[in-house]
Amino acid sequence: EVQLVESGGGLVQPGGSLRLSCAASGFSFSSDWMNWVRQAPGKGLEWVANIKQDGTEIYYVGSVKGRFTISRDNTKNSLYLQMNSLRVEDTAVYYCASGPHYAPHYDNWGQGTLVTVSS
């Protein structure tokens, strides 16, 4: 059974940092592009970033460039999102999802982890 399990969310002050993790199992993690998608409370979905199988290609949505860093460790079947200089508008549930770079075709999603940026 495919499983993606996010962790690391929580309450952080504006300007603070947080590192999210996503543990994958049940599929060949090292063979898939991986993505982070977020959803602000009561709002729609927004793609945040993705990373190629070997980590050599990385892409971000404009609003997080220079503040967020996506990475992966294929030896641990894990995906990460380092979030720095957090803003109130980064408050959202963050999902990890497997899917290709050129299409938001996400076969598998985690349950999400809530990040709240507030003073």
Partner 1 sequence: QSVLTQPPSASATPGQRVIISCSGRRSNIATNDVHWYQQLPGTAPKLLIYKDNQRPSGVPERFSGSKSGTSASLAISGLRSEDEADYYCATWDDSLRGHIFGGGTKLTVL
Residues of this chain that bind partner 1 (CB under 8 A): 35, 44-47, 50, 59, 61, 95, 102-107, 109-112
Smallest distance, Å, CB 102 to partner 1?
A: 5
> DSSP states of 21-84 as a string?
EEEEESS-GGGS-EEEEEE-TTS-EEEEEEE-TTSS-EEE-GGGTTTEEEEEETTTTEEEEEE-
Closer residue to partner 1, CB minimum distance, 62 or 75: 62
Closer residue to partner 1, CB minimum distance, 23 or 61: 61
Closer residue to partner 1, CB minimum distance, 48 or 83: 48
Smallest distance, Å, CB 18 to partner 1?
A: 20
β partners of residue 92:
115
